[in-house]
């Protein structure tokens, strides 16, 4: 496999790289073929991607995140959550597997908390959009990351996420993100 096809494959998903190797496929074309043979969601789910995430990432609402949550983003100020990188779908995927950082003041109790918890209800990424999840949020290792410390990110959107999009986000997480 040459370097170009390997990095192109990695930008999709590591198991596709494996699939490509297993078939001894060297060409990007063969990898793409194996991608469609797999079905995207099956092939991509393990690292937090998949068709569900594509649809979330491409929504108008989630397209705005990179205006602040990306290296060098125009809207980034001191105290902006700094781990998330919404520049591309791939960086969004991988950064969402991490934990919150860079929060200050009232919000600093959530530094270190995973964006994606064991379920949607236990996920900081959901808590910022769903006031019930926010009020009930509990992480025993981070007791101060509660409804008072978690920001309401719908304020950045000028309103709630459309219910169907919020549900998509929850389903993506509960489905193993
Ligand atoms: C206008 C800039 C801006 C935009 C756009 C924005 N954010 Fe934020 N976000 C912030 C800031 C600043 C913080 C830190 C907390 C605060 O000051 O309210 C934050 C915090 C967060 C946190 C951590 C919350 C906590 O309190 O622990 C998450 C998760 C988050 N944002 C997700 C998102 C997502 C997802 C999007 C896109 C739908 C988004 N944000 C859009 C500025 C923004």
pLDDT computed for residue 166 by the predictor:
98
**Tens of each residue's pLDDT in the chain, 177 residues:** 444 444 444 444 444 444 444 454 455 444 444 444 444 444 544 445 788 999 999 999 999 999 999 999 999 999 999 999 999 999 999 999 999 999 999 999 999 999 999 999 999 999 999 999 999 999 999 999 999 999 999 999 999 999 999 999 999 999 988
CA of 84 relative to ligand 1 center, distance in Å = 9
3-state secondary structure of 99: strand
pLDDT computed for residue 105 by the predictor:
97
Q: Whose CA is nearest to atom 11 of ligand 1?
A: 80
CA of 128 relative to ligand 1 center, distance in Å = 8
Q: pTM of this prediction?
A: 0.79
pLDDT computed for residue 107 by the predictor:
97
Q: Is any atom of ligand 1 closer than 6 Å to the C-beta of 103?
A: yes
pLDDT computed for residue 49 by the predictor:
78
CA of 119 relative to ligand 1 center, distance in Å = 20
pLDDT computed for residue 27 by the predictor:
52
Gap between the Cα atoms of 116 and 161, Å rounded: 18
pLDDT computed for residue 46 by the predictor:
43
Q: Is any atom of ligand 1 closer than 6 Å to the C-beta of 137?
A: no
pLDDT computed for residue 32 by the predictor:
45
Give the residue from 107, 134, 111 showing the smallest Cα distance to 122: 134
| 65 to 15, 85, 111, 166, 177: CA distances (angstroms) | 27, 8, 18, 15, 19
Q: Compute the Cα dihedral for 83, 109, 156, 80 and give only its sign.
A: negative
Gap between the Cα atoms of 122 and 103, Å rounded: 19
Other Cβ atoms less than 10 A from the Cβ of 60: the count is: 9
CA of 81 relative to ligand 1 center, distance in Å = 6
Gap between the Cα atoms of 174 and 56, Å rounded: 14
């Amino acid at each position: 496999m040459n370097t170009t096809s390997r990095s192109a494959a990695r930008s999709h998903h590591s198991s596709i790289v494996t699939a490509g190797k297993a078939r001894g496929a060297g060409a990007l074309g063969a990898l793409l073929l194996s991608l469609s043979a797999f079905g995207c969601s099956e092939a991509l789910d393990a690292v937090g991607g998949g068709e569900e995430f594509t649809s979330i990432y491409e929504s108008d609402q989630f397209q705005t995140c990179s205006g602040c949550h990306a290296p060098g983003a125009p809207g980034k100020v001191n105290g902006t959550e700094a781990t998330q990188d919404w520049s591309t779908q791939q960086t969004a995927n991988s950064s969402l597997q991490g934990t919150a950082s860079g929060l200050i003041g009232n919000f600093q109790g959530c530094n270190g908390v995973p964006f994606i918890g064991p379920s949607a209800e236990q996920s900081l990424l959901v808590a910022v959009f769903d006031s019930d999840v926010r009020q009930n949020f509990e992480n025993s290792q981070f007791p101060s990351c509660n409804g008072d410390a978690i920001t309401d990110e719908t304020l950045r959107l000028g309103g709630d996420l459309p219910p169907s999009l919020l549900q998509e986000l929850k389903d993506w997480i509960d489905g193993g993100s």
